[in-house]
Amino acid sequence: MTELVREVSENDQLRADIYQLLAALLRCQPSAELLQFLASLEIDASEDDSDITKAWLAVKLAAGQFTTEQLEEEYFNIFLGVGSGEILPYGSWFMTGSLMDKPLALLRQDLVQLGFERTDEVKEPEDHVAALCEVMGTLILEAPGYRQLAFYQRHIGSWIDRFCDHLARAPSAAFYATVAQLAKSFFAIEANEFEQLSLNIPVNCPGSDAEKIQPTSNELVS
């Protein structure tokens, strides 16, 4: 298969970076290096009081107040727990109220068509919110807009706002309340991005549901 070089705009690179950051924060507790990175972010809020800027400031402040040991416990309580965490970070759960349901089967079909492969060491189902963020980050850099739009609409857009609200209200959420604030603000911007994209894509655009998606060599690592 011929490998195509796709020009990535500054905005798309930033979007992909935020998806990967959210994936890292939602996959496990942040490392000391990641906390240091977040605490040292340079954020100019002097002329910008948008929700996303306020969210970045909250994350920056929180990153300087917690240790990795504290966040290991917080992450465990929220997402894992003894038997079950305080929230379930799976798309199927938010879409149907059940795990391992039809949305997961559809997701797995789409991931195969897009060329993502589940690695042996990954134990979580593919609809874990961190895995979905990783996929979106990759698609923004490597796939045309209609592929990004289709994946977002089918597997993320309908429930991600409710996930952010649940995370913000989780009893143990302190640092992760700021992560929820950042994610909610970011996905609000993404919703507008994809709404505009949907208006710009012709109805008969190649890549509709009827067309098979040609695989690439990406791997789903989480």
Report residue 47's pLDDT band, with 50, 70 and 90 as the boundaries: low
- Residue that wins the pLDDT comparison between 114 and 76: 76
Return the pLDDT at 123: 73
Phi and psi for 221 in degrees, rounded to 5?
-100, -5
Distance CA 194, CA 136 (A): 12
Which residues are CB-neighbours of 62 under 8 A, at least 6 positions away? Answer: 174, 175, 178
C-beta separation of 213 from 113 below 8 A: yes
99 pLDDT band (50/70/90 cuts)? confident
Question: Residue 217 pLDDT more than 80?
Answer: no
pLDDT of residue 199: 62
- What's the whole-number average pLDDT of the chain? 85
Decide which of 102 and 78 is more confident. 78
**CB 145, CB 201: distance < 8 Å:** yes
Mean pLDDT, rounded, for 190-200? 78
Q: Are 100 and 139 in contact (CB under 8 A)?
A: no
For residue 113, give both structure tokens: 């068509």
Q: Using an 8 Å Cβ cutoff, are 52 and 185 in contact?
A: yes
Task: Pick the range with the lowest mean pLDDT from 87-101, 110-124, 166-180.
Answer: 110-124
In whole angstroms, give the CA distance from residue 34 to residue 155. 27
Please tell me the predicted confidence (pLDDT) of residue 86.
95
* pLDDT tens per residue, range 136-166: 999 999 988 889 999 999 999 999 999 999 9
pLDDT at 209: 43
The answer to whether 23 touches 16, Cβ cutoff 8 Å, is no
Say what the pLDDT of residue 205 is: 43
What is the pLDDT at residue 7?
Answer: 79
pLDDT at 101: 77
Give yes or no for residue 67 having a pLDDT over 80: yes
- Cα of 55 vs its chain's centroid, Å: 16
Q: How far is CA 17 from CA 11, 71, 73, 135, 173, in A?
A: 10, 22, 26, 12, 24
198 — pLDDT class (breaks 50, 70, 90):
low
| pLDDT tops 70 at residue 38 | yes
Neighbours of 195 (CB within 10 A): 11
In angstroms, the CA 168 to CA 184 distance is 9
Percentage of residues in the chain having pLDDT higher than 70? 84
4: pLDDT strictly greater than 90: no
β-bridge partners, 90: 128
> How far, rounded to the nearest angstrom, does the alpha carbon of residue 190 sit from its chain's CA centroid?
11
As a whole number of Å, the CA-based R_g of the chain is: 18
